[in-house]
Chain A
């Protein structure tokens, strides 16, 4: 559904997106995760031709982006992260404006989605809250009959109930065979709906994981802390020596080690480590399914999510 080949964007000397090659399948929700300034929005805009590529190519639904990207935008909708409206328009008129160039049925579908989200269709947007405006853009992006929806932080500023409703609608879209590329800061919602996750940092793709594989990696992650830095330094050679067991030291933050184990049972590793009674005992041991934020911090060492 989405194929990019060495897609690159630079602003002067600054490389906003490093050469990115991807091949994303149809019929799933794809999550795009990354801290502020990681290049998420630039990447999404490039997919629909809003930001021209410095190098590389984009292909959506088998069609290569050409010119200003109109041929791609006919196959994809884009819900921007930035909120902008004509305050004098009603919600209905704004939806119509957003859906210019789409099939006429799209307006009716958008009104149905907006209605489902509880938006007052004939009220002027100047009286809408931040979250309501976000839902107007979301309704417009979900309405056209196209195979791909690209959503840049569609739940930002929404209350938990509305956020759940939005995620329900996204899941329904995938059941209908569409593909959704979703960028978000809310790791919980990415975790809930996405089947594949892409992680960007500093304009570079540093992770591309299928959700089930990520969950499996999560179960193999062990966080172990000692009382202080000195104890941790004493233990470190012993931990590194256990590489034969398939244990990988991912990172060390002071007295805390992040380890990736060969399986989801830490007992063999702990028994081997604790054989040497001269070494200090661990202070805190965490394992099991970690949150996405913890996972990315420990797997990729990127903070700011």
Chain B
């Protein structure tokens, strides 16, 4: 198997294992959570945390599972994976010294870059969909009498992936123009931690990127059974924009 696709498969499996394990643990904990939800709300002193708990309570099992899978799992581990999978795309080759050989082969630069982008994008998105589709099995496993339609799981996963792809593509662009993957990684992780912190502060929470994929969004998706175009399409436009910029800058890249 070519090196790129083996690497994609391993990364994807790694992210899937983490998301799956976290979601399975969360599913198993649901009965306890449901029982103690009022108590948790009294303990939540941060207003935004209390708001999350209200949304989760309002959404029932779906609110809880969507919060666990998308808001908690994907917005932390998924974002970290998106950054880590993108950062080495070109800057990693440069740091390793393999950029010259990589570019010196008779393969067009556009193709090289699109393959890299696609490999990483699949490694980020497929685990999100796959672990989401496992939710119904987890419900059975935890003996929770509730199931979600695959349309809902697909829409919710697509919504989450739109955010992850935007972060992935922004990091990918930095990798195309950069030489130091560690510096880019720390920068992007710091940025996202900052965004998460902003989410928790009531006065500035509306400016946080993670407002775009918090539990209330997933309740809206469940209610309308459609994607939130006002969020997803701009995120996809950001993704396309960064990919276009990456292709443009990569054509001029010198080893």
Contact = CB atoms under 8 A, between A and B. Distances in A.
B104 interface: yes
Please tell me the size bucket of the interface on A.
20 to 34
Nearest to A80: B100
B96 A86 contact: yes
Interface string A87-118: 00100010001111110000000000000000
A60 to B, nearest CB: 12
A300 interface: no
Given A52-B252, A68-B251, A84 B101 contact: yes
B255 interface: yes
Contact of A68 (B2, B100, B109, B255): B109
Interface stretch (A43-51, A154-162, A282-290): A43-51
Contact of A82 (B3, B106, B252, B255): B255
B3 A86 contact: yes
A130 interface: no
Contacts of B93: 84
B107 A51 contact: no
Which interface class (under 10, 10 to 19, 20 to 34, 35 or more) fits B?
Answer: 20 to 34
Nearest to B251: A68
A97 B106 contact: no
Interface string B105-120: 1111110000000000
B103 interface: yes
A84 B251 contact: no
Contacts of A97: 2-3, 101
Nearest to B250: A68
A86 B103 CA distance: 15
B254 interface: yes
B98 A85 contact: yes
Contacts of B255: 45, 50-51, 80, 82
B126 interface: no
Interface string A57-100: 00000000001101001100110101111100100010001111
Given A84-B96, A98-B105, 15 more contacts: A50-B100, A67-B108, A68-B108, A73-B104, A74-B106, A80-B104, A82-B100, A82-B255, A84-B99, A84-B101, A85-B97, A86-B96, A93-B3, A98-B101, A101-B107
28 contacts: A45-B255, A50-B100, A50-B103, A50-B254, A50-B255, A51-B254, A51-B255, A52-B252, A52-B254, A68-B108, A70-B108, A74-B106, A78-B100, A78-B104, A80-B104, A82-B100, A83-B97, A84-B98, A86-B3, A97-B2, A98-B101, A99-B105, A100-B2, A100-B105, A101-B105, A101-B106, A102-B106, A140-B101
